[in-house]
Amino acid sequence: MASSKRKDENNNYFQKAIDNITEDRNKASVLLEEIMNYIIKSPERSKEVGIVAAKYLEVLQRSNEQLVKIAYYVNKATPEDGSFSLDEKEDIYEEIKKTKGK
């Protein structure tokens, strides 16, 4: 029963992480699209907002990396217990904290 509870907790944890990543990606995509529309009107504007656009692209890249890590950890979990080591859980938590802090 404890194994099932751990699996449920891990699944809940991963779902929250995926939801946060998806939300961040959606926001960054919308803002990046707005910047692109702004630049299209006058290419000189790229000097004004180029750094901001680069930051949004970084957010998208970071979210891709997080999704790959989550997929790795999910696939790495053994079918017998479905649990992760404390180090793995801390790694995942640190990745999420880093993204939320930026």
The mean pLDDT of the chain is 79
Exposure on the CB side of residue 89, measured as CA atoms within 13 A: 12
Q: Model pTM?
A: 0.59
pLDDT at 90: 81
Residues 6+ apart with CB under 8 A from 35: 49, 52, 53, 56
Domain chopping of the chain, boundaries: 2-100
pLDDT higher than threshold 60 for residue 89: yes
**What pLDDT is stored for residue 34 in this prediction?**
92
pLDDT for the residue 77: 64
Query: Which of 29-43, 47-61, 65-79 bottoms out in mean pLDDT, i.e. has the lowest?
Result: 65-79
Q: How confident is the model at residue 1 (pLDDT cuts 50, 70, 90)?
A: very low
CA distances from 68 to 36, 48, 63 (A): 27, 33, 9
Is the pLDDT at 56 greater than 80, yes or no?
A: yes
Decide if pLDDT at 36 tops 60: yes
Per residue in 58-88, pLDDT tens?
888 888 888 888 888 777 765 555 566 778 7
